Structure 1
Amino acid sequence: MRAHEAGALHADGYGAAPHWLPYPNDVMELLPQLWSKGVTRGDDGVLAVAGVPVTQIAEEFGTAAYVLDEDDFRSRARAFVEDFTRPFVAVCGGADVYYAGKAFLCTAVARWVMEEGLCLDVCSGGELAVAQRVGFPGERIGLHGNNKSVAEIRQALEHGVGRIVVDSLEEIERVATVARELGVVAPVMVRVTVGVEAHTHEFIATAHEDQKFGFSLAGGAAMEAVEAILAQGDALDLRGLHSHIGSQIFDVSGFEIAARRLVGLHVEVAERHGVHMPEMDLGGGYGIAYTSEHDPMTPAHLGADMAAVCDRELRALDGGTGEAPRPRISIEPGRAIVGPSTLTLYEVGTVKQVQVTHDAVRAYVSVDGGMSDNVRTALYGADYSCTLASRASEAAPAVTRVVGKHCESGDIVVMDEFLPADVGPGDLIAVPGTGAYCRSLSSQYNHTPRPPVIAVRDGRARVIVRRETIEDILALDVDE
């Protein structure tokens, strides 16, 4: 949004909408890329998810609520498995797809991930416990994190996880010590900071040097980690190298550089130590459409492009002769599976008109949720879209900001969107693309109970994470 140095009221004729947000021909239109495949709008204007009207969901389960389209989730999961396995067969025998537990995880989702043939990336003992509860095979689990406790390492090794991605020299010693105590060999990968900064927000670009994750290629830290693992003897099994260049990424150019640098280290390890590591993880963090300005790649397009990148770079292993064994590639789609599968349903409480320039007004629509159920807008300026979900409207489009109920001026859910000018108290607002990092990052700010997660499939809605209650919150208090 254009700004005047003396403040918005002094700006001249730009209006309240940002330049990327087009004036809609039909303010009730649903842009397909923003919504799960099961979302439709009836003649009465009411949104439905997998055949269930959101008005029914609100009446039965209340608002705010996360509404997850199960078939959409499963189809996206299958697409990543199929569209990466197919092109990677000729490259390295196939590819493994790791679902990001940190994006959103509960027992139902862990079961879906398991059933659809994905692997699972967990970052804590709590996330691992969810996987254990549903019997997720240990060999298909990877444990991540930059400060794993001894208890978490022991929990992972006892469950037989397929990889522990190590992040410091202290952790290498810690994993080896626990492995010896348990009498097992710990499979480990080295998280490598490859020096590629994804074109994304600074807080979620994770491969440049000045940040907490990984061993840097610069200065030899990554090779030092490899040698520290090899020095532990039979306690550790060096499975390979891991890289992650960021999140909300819309092209594969950064992965090409990352792959080239990982392959270079892979070759160096083989030449110096005679070790041919059997795995290589290129991370992922593929982007999704949060607003009309986003144009994400399909899994098929991503799979084909990533396979071409890997095939090209892996030729460096043996000069293109095909004689050296190639590591099996794994990727991590991140939010791209669960993000688009979910919308958050709110009820409008108040509406006020705010003069933002001398000729422009913005409607502030307050809903019964906010930064406690979606902190991403406040945390790093994430953009979202929204729509009127509970009725039809022929009112003109109005520039709107959807805000929460919390005692913070930064409590914003949707920064800029056009909604019908007659939106008022009691209406339902749906915000798409909230499956990733919304429930996971949710809080009890202002002692607000967290919303439920409602899964919808084949015309039936059911609770997979129940609504938190005030009693749940008070149960943690100790007053003696």
Structure 2
Amino acid sequence: MSDPRPLVPDWLVAPGDANALVEQVWPASATRDEHGVLSIGGVPVTDLRDTFGTPLYVFDEPGVRARARRVKAAFDAAAARHGVRARVYYASKAFLSSEVLRWVTAEGLAVDVATGGELAVALATGVDAARLGLHGNNKSVAELERAVDVGISSVVVDSPIEVERLATIADRRGVVQPVLVRVNSGVHAETHDFLATAHEDQKFGFALDAAPGIVARIRELPSLQFVGLHCHIGSQIFGTAGFEESASRVVELHAQLSEDAPVPVLNLGGGFGIAYTSVDDPTPIEQLADGIVDAVARECEVRGIPMPNVAFEPGRSIVGQAGVTLYEVGTVKPVQATDDLQRLYVSVDGGMSDNARPALYGAHYSARIASRTSDEEPALARVVGKHCESGDIVVDAEYLPGDVAPGDLLAVPATGAYCFSLSSNYNFVPRPPVVAVGDGRARVIVRGETIDDLLARDEGLHAPTTEDTL
């Protein structure tokens, strides 16, 4: 099958300086010293390589904390202007470790989890269950039981079966479990196509016209408490238009449901975008917060109803820009892509096992040589991994100095979200460690795997015991 990607994306232009760091793409602490060595959080990447090896996930801790504070402050201020409260949830699926949960909760964020494993990490970290929300379209009985047992603040219910299942669990324990109902507003933010459909053809949530019946059933069940609606329109979203349109539809449903009893919460999701390349222009979080909250307020005023408290899930925007992945270049090979186009294939010591997003859905990233600068003219390059797949692409198209060579350190920014989370052991490659940097110091927050770790799981390499057999 032919490669569907264009040889050179329309938006990619040769930079005047292939060493320059595009501000919106890199952590705020990213700088180069007089020798051209990149530093993050005050730590030279050459020191990180020498201490921890490559590939290596690097997180700017002050950057994550600052972003969490800024997002919370923006939504708090927007909500306060209308006399209501806002809650901001950190998305565990973006990146999950005990240290990062400590950072974001210390800055005032709540946490959403979608599996028993994510819930276990949050609880083991010491996150108060009252600051946790549980998502998911197929929560197991065991996951729901655990959530109810620890007193989770809310469960976002996603199907009629789950409503009955959760009610039974809560009833057996003699508690009342607060729930939100996830609805599909018919707004498709990924294409900015605001076309409503009667039913959304996807696995999450309820159609708007089905929600009243679900809420009525919840209100019949003494072990459940309906506290609000939840809606999520997409991910990597720039601008407020999609949220505003979605708010108009969900507030209409909120008003209808409020006629029978108060509905104190409206969660409009999030999925706010970040910059992966020089042409990405994320909407400032203050503009997002003001635009979305003001839209909810307007819709409530039009209908003559009190405005509910609001909740949001910023997604990747908390950690995405704070993460950088370091690789070492192994080989460089010029390839004649067409009669008049040559491309450098720059092979690094990681790939789709540490960043699956380009292979999964064609995500674009940027890259820079991190161990030096160069005066060579920019050359069109494709950064590829070491895996046995032609689709093992880390950066599909980028301009790097033409003298990029084996041994160079290559840094790929904006990898804080979904890269570690989606990592694998494909081709039996161990997952890299995760290091936090800040104030000139670095420490491991997630230990990297070794080949021995992978071999230890292979029971065929170990003598069986009676516990290993039926």
Interval containing the TM-score (normalised by the shorter chain) = over 0.9
Q: Residue 177 of structure 1: which of 164, 168, 177 is its match? A: 168
Per-residue CA deviations over 1:132-169 (Å, capped at 9, x if unaligned) read 01211111110000000111111111121111000000
Q: Provide closer, same or farther for how the CA distance between residues 427 and 410 of structure 1 changes in structure 2, counting only shifts above 3 A.
A: same
Contact 1:91/1:310 (8 A) holds in 2? no
Aligned to 1:50: 41
Paired with 1:285 and 1:71, the residues of 2 have a C-alpha distance of: 22
Of 255-264 and 363-372, deviating more is 255-264
Paired with 1:145 and 1:407, the residues of 2 have a C-alpha distance of: 33
Q: CA deviation at 1:316?
A: 3.5
How do 1:281-360 residues align onto structure 2 when only pairs under 5 Å count?
281-318=267-304, 324-360=305-341
SS of equivalent residue, structure 2 residue 82? helix
Aligned to 1:191: 182
Question: Which ranges in structure 2 are unaligned for 5 or more consecutive residues?
Answer: 465-470
- 1:275 maps onto 2:275 in alignment: no
Per-residue CA deviations over 1:312-353 (Å, capped at 9, x if unaligned) read 1121442xxxxx432100011000010000000000001100
Aligned to 1:392: 373
Q: Provide closer, same or farther for how the CA distance between residues 200 and 378 of structure 1 changes in structure 2, counting only shifts above 3 A.
A: farther
SS of equivalent residue, structure 1 residue 34? coil
Paired with 2:416 and 2:198, the residues of 1 have a C-alpha distance of: 24
Paired with 2:3 and 2:393, the residues of 1 have a C-alpha distance of: 20
SS of equivalent residue, structure 1 residue 287? coil
Aligned to 1:446: 427
Per-residue CA deviations over 1:397-445 (Å, capped at 9, x if unaligned) read 0000000000000000000000001011110000000011000000000
- 1:224 maps onto 2:213 in alignment: yes
Q: Residue 235 of structure 1: which of 217, 223, 234 is its match? A: 223
Contact 1:191/1:215 (8 A) holds in 2? yes
Q: Provide closer, same or farther for how the CA distance between residues 334 and 6 of structure 1 changes in structure 2, counting only shifts above 3 A.
A: closer
Contact 1:194/1:207 (8 A) holds in 2? no
Aligned to 1:25: 16
Per-residue CA deviations over 1:35-68 (Å, capped at 9, x if unaligned) read 0111111121110001100000001000001000
Q: CA deviation at 1:207?
A: 12
TM norm structure 2: 0.94
Q: CA deviation at 1:92?
A: 4.3
- 1:84 maps onto 2:72 in alignment: no
SS of equivalent residue, structure 2 residue 217? helix
Aligned to 1:260: 248
How do 1:117-136 residues align onto structure 2 when only pairs under 5 Å count?
117-136=108-127
Aligned to 1:209: 200
- Backbone CA RMSD of aligned residues: 1.9
Q: CA deviation at 1:307?
A: 2.1
Instruction: Give the fraction of aligned pairs with identical amino acids, expressed as a percent.
Output: 55
SS of equivalent residue, structure 1 residue 226? helix
Per-residue CA deviations over 1:271-313 (Å, capped at 9, x if unaligned) read 2xx1111100000001000001100011112112122212111
Paired with 2:251 and 2:83, the residues of 1 have a C-alpha distance of: 13
Paired with 2:112 and 2:121, the residues of 1 have a C-alpha distance of: 12
Paired with 1:277 and 1:71, the residues of 2 have a C-alpha distance of: 37
Paired with 2:330 and 2:280, the residues of 1 have a C-alpha distance of: 30
Counterpart of 2:186 in structure 1: which amino acid? G
Q: Provide closer, same or farther for how the CA distance between residues 429 and 201 of structure 1 changes in structure 2, counting only shifts above 3 A.
A: farther
Contact 1:16/1:361 (8 A) holds in 2? no
Of 279-288 and 258-267, deviating more is 258-267
Aligned to 2:348: 367
Contact 1:366/1:404 (8 A) holds in 2? yes
